[in-house]
């Protein structure tokens, strides 16, 4: 028999706020506080102005200080965590906050608690830094004058030596250049640090499981920007059908790197002004870092132990546009609408029972019109009764983590009966003509909320939370 699944712990790790009590996080979301800013150094590197939501002074020790003081910490595991990529640190911290918030107790040697975490960009910053380190070591070993300190007296020697290699850098001779480097240095990849095995998505649920002794299945989900929501949806499915007893689920991402910024910038999806979903002059999203973790449990078990229940996961659906181009969005939201219908069918709710939709809302030219079309198609006349909001206007877009963060936002909205706003909505796009909750939060009885996520690769996901 299928079981009912509830959320009993929330762990937001977001520039808007971090902490077990969620007060700062929810205060900033419900009050529409803007936190995005221009990335330092990016303009000087030729990328122009890029909006981002980042932790300006993130220090892992701040959040583990009490555990270290009380000795409630595996010091060896924590010492390793401090040197891991921030995508892993964010994920472990989100899991810690969610587990502490839930108050769930379990046998660290004998449990079947799963870890389902989404991540799209992998440890892109650490990978980029490792590539730079490899390049530097190869460079220094190949060009002998770089072994010396660069100064005006040997500059011309370096310049002359570099000019001698320029003919090998022609496109048709690049393989000759690689052969030359290999003869000089041996295996070029031998400089790759062993820690690079942690630069993959699988490291995040693996680290969470080992840090908290969770012995159920671990799953790394990569469905682009839908990763975090899909991770929660799949974890809920596993509990619903009795495969696991509970789960920590969500998403984590640390995408602030020159590679990510340049690729997304060239794609034209990064804002150079402000993230403003549903606006006629929207120009993209603010790239963001962070994580969102939740604890999921079977409802009767949670009630029995007296857990606080934030919301019930009532429905979930996912589809794929199957586009030939990875980054295309179906302008009619055809398969997003199908995912919404699957979620509604699995929840056994009617369209008039949904009060609020947290839309994907990336503030790109294609996104909100497609979502608006899908909502109108699925909800028909009931679409005019809904409140929608694009909370990425406040949190930024943390790619694979954002589904976890928006699940936390929607659970808080249900608890507080407050619809968070879409900020910066000053010039509404007439195509996006639903109630998008412009600029100021609205009080409203929220019995059921829907969350939408859309990812590169054509992924569409919809989840329904309810009281």
C-beta separation of 47 from 32 below 8 A: no
Band of the pLDDT at 446, cuts 50, 70, 90? very high
C-beta separation of 448 from 466 below 8 A: yes
Helix segments in 143-245, DSSP class H: 155-165, 174-185, 203-212, 227-240
Band of the pLDDT at 301, cuts 50, 70, 90? very high
Q: Domain residue spans in the chain?
A: 5-123+200-466, 126-194
The span from the CA of 160 to the CA of 285, in Å, is 45
CATH code linked to domain 5-123+200-466: 3.40.47.10
Q: What is the DSSP letter of 15?
A: T
225 included as an active-site residue: yes
> Catalytic residue among 225, 279, 367, 412, which?
225
The span from the CA of 391 to the CA of 271, in Å, is 15
pTM: 0.90
pLDDT at 373: 97
The span from the CA of 35 to the CA of 51, in Å, is 10
241 included as an active-site residue: no
> Catalytic residue among 279, 367, 397, 412, which?
397
Mean predicted lDDT score pLDDT of the chain: 89
Asked whether the predicted pLDDT for residue 161 surpasses 70, the reply is no
C-beta separation of 159 from 145 below 8 A: no
pLDDT at 445: 98
Band of the pLDDT at 186, cuts 50, 70, 90? low
Structure tokens belonging to residue 83:
């040197």
C-beta separation of 229 from 358 below 8 A: no
What is the tens place of the pLDDT at every residue in 187-213?
655 556 666 677 889 999 999 999 999
Distance, C-alpha 309 to centroid of its chain = 24
Band of the pLDDT at 336, cuts 50, 70, 90? very high
The span from the CA of 295 to the CA of 414, in Å, is 17
Band of the pLDDT at 145, cuts 50, 70, 90? very low
The span from the CA of 190 to the CA of 415, in Å, is 53
397 included as an active-site residue: yes
> Catalytic residue among 14, 53, 279, 360, which?
360
Composition of the chain by helix, strand, coil, percent to 5: 45, 20, 35
Distances 57 to 54, 287, 431 between C-alpha atoms, Å: 9, 17, 40
């Amino acid at each position: 028999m299928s079981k009912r699944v509830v959320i009993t712990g929330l762990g937001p790790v977001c520039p808007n706020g971090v902490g077990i009590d969620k007060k700062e996080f929810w205060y900033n979301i419900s009050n529409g506080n803007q936190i995005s800013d221009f990335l330092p150094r990016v303009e000087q590197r030729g990328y122009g102005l890029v909006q981002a939501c980042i932790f300006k002074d993130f220090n892992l020790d701040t959040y583990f200080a009490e555990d270290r003081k009380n000795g409630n910490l595996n010091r060896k595991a924590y010492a390793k965590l401090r040197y891991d990529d921030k995508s892993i640190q964010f994920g472990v911290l989100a899991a810690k906050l969610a587990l502490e918030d839930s108050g769930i107790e379990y046998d660290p040697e004998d449990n079947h608690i799963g870890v389902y975490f989404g991540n799209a960009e992998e440890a892109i910053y650490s990978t980029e830094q490792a590539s730079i380190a490899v390049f530097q070591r190869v460079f220094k070993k190949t060009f002998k004058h770089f072994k010396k300190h660069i100064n005006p007296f040997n500059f011309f020697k370096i310049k002359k030596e570099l000019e001698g290699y320029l003919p090998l850098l022609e496109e048709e001779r690049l393989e000759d250049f690689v052969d030359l480097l290999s003869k000089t240095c041996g295996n070029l990849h031998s400089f790759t640090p062993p820690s690079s095995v942690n630069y993959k998505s699988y490291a995040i649920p693996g680290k969470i499981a080992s840090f908290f002794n969770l012995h159920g299945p671990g799953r790394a989900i990569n469905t682009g920007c839908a990763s975090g929501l899909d991770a929660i949806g799949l974890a809920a499915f596993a509990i619903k059908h009795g495969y696991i007893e509970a789960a920590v689920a969500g998403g984590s991402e640390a995408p602030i790197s020159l590679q990510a910024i340049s690729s997304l910038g060239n794609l034209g999806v990064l804002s150079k002004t402000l993230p403003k979903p549903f606006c006629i002059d929207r120009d993209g999203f603010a790239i963001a870092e962070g994580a969102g973790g939740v604890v999921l449990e079977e409802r009767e078990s949670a009630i029995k132990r007296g857990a606080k229940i934030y919301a019930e996961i009532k429905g979930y659906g996912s589809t794929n546009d199957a586009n030939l181009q990875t980054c295309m969005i179906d302008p009619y939201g055809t398969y997003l609408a199908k995912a919404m219908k699957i979620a509604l069918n699995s929840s056994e709710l009617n369209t008039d029972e949904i009060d609020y939709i947290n839309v994907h809302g990336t503030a790109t030219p294609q996104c909100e019109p497609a979502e608006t079309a899908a909502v109108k198609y699925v909800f028909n006349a009931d679409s005019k009764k809904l409140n929608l909001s694009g909370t990425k206007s406040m949190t930024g877009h943390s790619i694979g983590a954002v589904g976890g963060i928006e699940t936390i936002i929607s659970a808080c909205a249900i608890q507080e009966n407050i619809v968070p706003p879409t900020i910066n909505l000053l010039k509404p796009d007439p195509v996006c003509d639903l109630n998008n909750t412009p600029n100021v939060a609205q009080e409203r009885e929220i019995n059921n909320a829907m969350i939408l996520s859309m990812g590169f690769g054509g992924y569409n996901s919809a989840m329904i939370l309810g009281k």
